[in-house]
Structure 1
Amino acid sequence: MNRFLSLALFLLLTLGGGLLIGATNRPGEWYASLAKPVFNPPDWLFAPVWTALYILIAIVGWRTWRRGPTSKRMQVWWAQLILNFLWMPMFFGLQQMVLALLVILLLLAAIIAFMGLSWGKDRLATWLFAPYVLWTAYAALLNASLIGLN
């Protein structure tokens, strides 16, 4: 497959999937009514941050797929994407903050596992996931704080 076409497909999958899930699982009144920690970011920040992260996730997935479409690294990449796509419906759609925390902690573990597997094979992929692991750790802390406050 043409490398630019495959990159476009990874972008469509991750960015398109993330945007679709975000559009169908809006925070709404329930989230607005929750007590929030002092470090809660403004609502407008989530869309640009996740857009940038989904682009990085797509690039990393594409690089990994090109080097080993059935590799352990690719399997872990798919696992993190599934967990990523599950969190928002779990948190906002079903309003299950505790289950969402479990999902995001599994997501964080999958991201870290992917980075560990990638370090010796594709350092650029590892570094491209650095903002993702930081944001996900922050989101997990935010998720846990929302449980504690509510």
Structure 2
Amino acid sequence: MSDAKNDKGIWKRALWLVPLTVVGGSLSGIGFGPDGWYEALEKPSFQPPSYLFGIVWPALYTMIALALATVLNEPRSKARDTAVTLWIIQLAINFTWSYAFFEARAIGYAKWHLLAMLVVAALTAGRFYRIRPLAGLLMLPYLAWLIFAFTLNSAIVSLNPGAGQPLFG
């Protein structure tokens, strides 16, 4: 008898997790996306073209959803429950960033919002890796992009003093 894992459950979960995650992220970006205010902001030289965001984010959402499907395929445990909870928290932070940056125009707050997202996503990736290494590895491109996004958000804040608004008050 083989000790190979039964990974069929990953694909069953991925069939609903991937579209749910991609659509949720897309709705967040579409609902609270760039407008004339954003276009008028000074951008750093390393700002990617706008169309690239529409390619990168769905790919990243697909990978992190596959990471979750991989972890959910493992037997339920306290470690798995904690990892899944962290994944949900980082995704909630992710989905609300567009509102903070584009709608509320709280670009300074959004920078720290991104840092919180990065920290929770890194904790998630570490937990995922301990449960199933593939799941943790699937999170790495997302972590790299979040580091880039934090750097970009920080540069926009620096280049545009006074352009943002406080989120509260």
List per-residue Cα deviations over 1:63-84 (Å, max 9, x = no partner).
2223238611111111111011
Question: Given the alignment, which residue of 127, 130, 138 partners 1:128?
Answer: 138
Aligned residue for 1:36, secondary structure, equals coil
Name whichever of 131-140 and 119-128 sits farther off: 119-128
User: 1: CA distance between counterparts of 2:18 and 2:54?
Assistant: 16
User: 2: CA distance between counterparts of 1:30 and 1:55?
Assistant: 30
1:1-150 equivalences in 2 (<5 Å): 3=9, 4-67=11-74, 68=76, 71-150=81-160
Do the aligned partners of 2:28 and 2:98 also contact (CA within 8 Å) in 1?
Answer: yes
Name whichever of 16-25 and 3-12 sits farther off: 3-12
Letter of the 1:48 counterpart? I
Letter of the 1:11 counterpart? V
User: 2: CA distance between counterparts of 1:11 and 1:120?
Assistant: 22
Indicate the structure with greater helix content. Answer: 1
Q: Give TM-score scaled by structure 1 length.
A: 0.92
User: 1: CA distance between counterparts of 2:44 and 2:13?
Assistant: 41
User: 2: CA distance between counterparts of 1:46 and 1:65?
Assistant: 28
Percent identical among aligned pairs is 32
**Deviation of the 1:115 alpha carbon:** 1.6
**Deviation of the 1:26 alpha carbon:** 1.8
User: 2: CA distance between counterparts of 1:86 and 1:16?
Assistant: 14
Give the 4+ runs in structure 1 shifted more than 3 A.
2-5
Q: Give TM-score scaled by structure 2 length.
A: 0.82
Q: How many residues align?
A: 149
RMSD: 1.6
* Greater Cα radius of gyration, structure 1 or 2: 2
